[in-house]
Structure 1
């Protein structure tokens, strides 16, 4: 078969970075004439990322709705079901997004050109002791050899995988995440029509965009924002995304305790986050750890400067044209400001107290600098083309499926 037929494999259809990335692949491959379908392990009614008639799924029940036995059976059956789908549709290539998709794909023993992808520093994630993390670590020494290619989205992630996770196979290739920058700009031009949202973005606005999870640690951003309000009382913090209900509840409690409810707006999921991103003064990430966050590239594309913790060495690859060493002070780079890492070697749970820490003070200082001047936006505009050069979707999507 000469024509490529591609299956994209992912756990969910939420609005996270991997899901948006999968949608970008889907749109591009369709545009160039390939047969493409997307397989979700879990399909939910409130999915934001959808693939229409090209969408396949294994379950319409979420994992938390399954008993332990049901989840175990799902894990056992998933590789077999992937094998059946690939054979029935005669796919020539598959691309898996993230550990769960990688593992089940590697165990499917199907015959297509099999591509996996790693999107975060795994040694950091594995400090959170879970059954699935244990299984994933075992896969790095066993079943991942059945992947024809394992894509690491940054140099830092590849080095971490080999040095700290005992990855033993020679199928790794570094490929940065592709982005359809033209489409991002197009979507950003959609108007905000709700009156209350218009009012929010009529003022200086700090935006968080992503999944509400312990990894993202958004409570640090909220505590920093409280300090920002002392100097800029007419500023809004907008949080777009959903996720862990315990994290959401903690954020709501924290906002009440800090008495900043009128200035913090939890908008939940949004189909088109780009129309909000382009109207924000700064994108803020207070994550404990990341790979190379897609939202940073999206912000650079829309000329919205960024404040991010030093959540991975990959953050330097994204936000700067120069090399910078990790430090305990703020680093000014072409795309914004990188603040010291908050992660201390152990994946913390939701905090028991709201005592202010020095990293949050430095994060607040960076946010205030962004609001004081337009120079950071001008600097990003000046360096935008060079910063975005390595994320060209035309080159990268072809590099993924190249044998």
Structure 2
């Protein structure tokens, strides 16, 4: 589209939800005639999300590889570098994904239509006292006013920013994440060609897709799976797709060895087409401490695979159900699967003991129900169209660029 250049700004190019969202926007706006460029702060060799000739980046050295001084230099210099790109490319609209991109964008003092986005429950995510967490909290009360629009991907996230994070500007708007449903469904039809993968991913497979992070709390999934195996009635295996925090991965693999599950739990790393793996599995599982509106849930609904997820935010029910879900300490059956009680106990950290909690038993019971009852998949398929209506990529993409 003549005179319109969109800059997409993100920290990484991994297989996470924000990155997949950025790629969806890129493809849609590009096909709609816009000039589109994508800026990654960190570009790595094993990036799954790539933008080819339209990609820009600042560093190929990850943050954890930088010294404290190097990281500080990066933080201080990033807004000026973004400003230069915006000026050089004559950017008309910028869309930032997540706090780091939002904050740096809000400090460029440029005149394009500036859009930020929040994808998680910030009162939980920002509990730590890291330097960047402190900067982000300050931004909520100061520089975020420079954003023309701050997109919250669920009502729960917007309410949390106002009530618990001191956000005081009126530029927020609730817009659900867009998804190219037809494209997802097409990719899901691809066959698995690797004999090992074909053998371990079946209708008895529980699949985890995402970053191995403290937020995702994958140790609870391992423990729930251990309880499932102990009942002796369900044949299943557990497959992880994605990478992430090395300490989290180390803790999870230690648990697997301790529970003698190494012949039933498999790590496949990053995959450029995760949808074909979802489509071959029995269910998708999330044991997150907090989320916004996880893209992977919508993707699983689009593919027709039921979900078992902790009630890690009110945004989960906005995705998984067509009606309001009352808070409960019990498992709740909804149109797309089962929502179980949240497992978050007030601290964002790797646990220092391996004792089981009641919520893991409830999650295990939900896994057992969905794996052994075809009604869950049938019910999802029956309600699939209605569940997906609010995620239409065409209408959502237009809402992002619309001046209020």
| TM range, smaller chain | over 0.9
CA contact (8 A) 2:292 2:315 kept: yes
CA shift, 1:234, in A, is 2.9
The residue aligned with 1:297 is: 298
Rounded Cα–Cα distance in structure 2 between residues aligned with 1:343 and 1:303 = 28
Rounded Cα–Cα distance in structure 2 between residues aligned with 1:203 and 1:274 = 15
Rounded Cα–Cα distance in structure 2 between residues aligned with 1:194 and 1:113 = 46
CA contact (8 A) 1:37 1:56 kept: yes
Consecutive unaligned residues of structure 1, counting only runs of 5 or more, are none
Rounded Cα–Cα distance in structure 2 between residues aligned with 1:286 and 1:234 = 21
CA contact (8 A) 1:93 1:401 kept: yes
Does residue 328 of structure 2 align to residue 327 of structure 1? yes
Matched ranges for 1:2-401 at <5 A: 2-202=2-202, 204-229=204-229, 230-232=231-233, 234-347=235-348, 349-401=349-401
Q: Deviations over 1:253-281 (max 9, x none)?
A: 11010001111011111111000001111
CA shift, 1:109, in A, is 0.8
Rounded Cα–Cα distance in structure 1 between residues aligned with 2:303 and 2:206 = 15
Q: Deviations over 1:199-247 (max 9, x none)?
A: 1124510000000001100010011011212334531100001000011
Q: CA RMSD in A?
A: 1.0
Rounded Cα–Cα distance in structure 2 between residues aligned with 1:232 and 1:205 = 15
CA contact (8 A) 1:239 1:267 kept: yes
Q: Deviations over 1:358-382 (max 9, x none)?
A: 0000000000000111000000001
User: Per the alignment, in what secondary structure is the counterpart of residue 268 of structure 2?
Assistant: strand
Rounded Cα–Cα distance in structure 1 between residues aligned with 2:21 and 2:134 = 26
Consecutive unaligned residues of structure 2, counting only runs of 5 or more, are none
Rounded Cα–Cα distance in structure 2 between residues aligned with 1:108 and 1:25 = 22
Equivalenced residues, count? 402
Q: TM-score w.r.t. structure 2 length?
A: 0.98
Rounded Cα–Cα distance in structure 1 between residues aligned with 2:233 and 2:307 = 18
User: Per the alignment, in what secondary structure is the counterpart of residue 186 of structure 1?
Assistant: helix
Rounded Cα–Cα distance in structure 2 between residues aligned with 1:325 and 1:132 = 35
Q: Deviations over 1:127-166 (max 9, x none)?
A: 2221111110000110000000000000110011011111
CA contact (8 A) 2:93 2:115 kept: yes
CA shift, 1:3, in A, is 3.2
Q: TM-score w.r.t. structure 1 length?
A: 0.98
User: Per the alignment, in what secondary structure is the counterpart of residue 40 of structure 1?
Assistant: strand
User: Per the alignment, in what secondary structure is the counterpart of residue 280 of structure 2?
Assistant: coil
CA contact (8 A) 2:307 2:337 kept: yes
CA contact (8 A) 1:154 1:314 kept: yes
Q: Deviations over 1:295-345 (max 9, x none)?
A: 000000001000000000111111001111221110111110000011123
CA contact (8 A) 1:203 1:234 kept: no
Rounded Cα–Cα distance in structure 1 between residues aligned with 2:181 and 2:369 = 27
Rounded Cα–Cα distance in structure 1 between residues aligned with 2:402 and 2:4 = 11
CA contact (8 A) 1:203 1:236 kept: no
CA contact (8 A) 2:309 2:338 kept: yes
